[in-house]
Amino acid sequence: MKTALLVIDVQRALCEGEYEVFEANRVIERINLVCQKARDAKAPVVFIQHEAETGILEFNSEGWQLAKGLCTEPTDIFIRKTAADSFHRTTLEQLLRHHAVTELVICGMQSEFCVDTTTRRALALGFAVVLVADAHSTLANEHLSAAQIIEHHTTTLANLHSFGPRVCPVNAEEVKFETSARAQVH
């Protein structure tokens, strides 16, 4: 299997200030680790940025920019989206098919929105998914802490069976990319 890394919505408005997700800096460190592993294996690294017509994620605004501390390289790929589903009205699927990708490693923001929706859509499109369990995050809400939301979505996604392909949750340290092979746990 050929693997690509999707880094979803790791943007300033979600990583600092009023809407800063749980453990934002630690999550960014883990994402940087996984990005470097992917680059070392020559796997595509795809940064996805959410945008809105107005508000904190308005295109090209300060909040729309990638988070401070997030490491990118000129060889990385950047895709803009306007929905929780990173495939919806974007070139993501076409890009992955062009690169013969069959498996995705997914991390980013926010666990119950864009990470969850993109993971489910990836499964529906036939991609196996490695969810980086300690490299996705969100905010608490009136019912659950951020840690509870993260754990709930990691567990729920790992237990989806109906799509065929599965979600395998692993921590950033355990993600392994192999050239032309499946990302694995070592």
DSSP state of 173: G
The number of residues in the chain equals 186
Could you give phi then psi for residue 140, rounded to 5 degrees?
A: -65, 160
Could you give phi then psi for residue 118, rounded to 5 degrees?
A: -65, -40
Which of 6, 183, 168 has the alpha carbon at shortest distance from 86? 6
Q: State the Cα–Cα distance between residues 101 and 125, nearest whole angstrom.
A: 12
Residue identified by tokens 């605004």 is: 61
Q: State the Cα–Cα distance between residues 73 and 52, nearest whole angstrom.
A: 25
Amino acid at 34: V
Q: CB-based burial of residue 134 (10 Å sphere; 0-12 exposed, 13-18 middle, 19+ buried)? A: buried
114 part of the active site = yes
Query: Choosing from 15, 107, 114, 168, which is the catalytic residue?
Result: 114
Give the active site residues.
Answer: 114
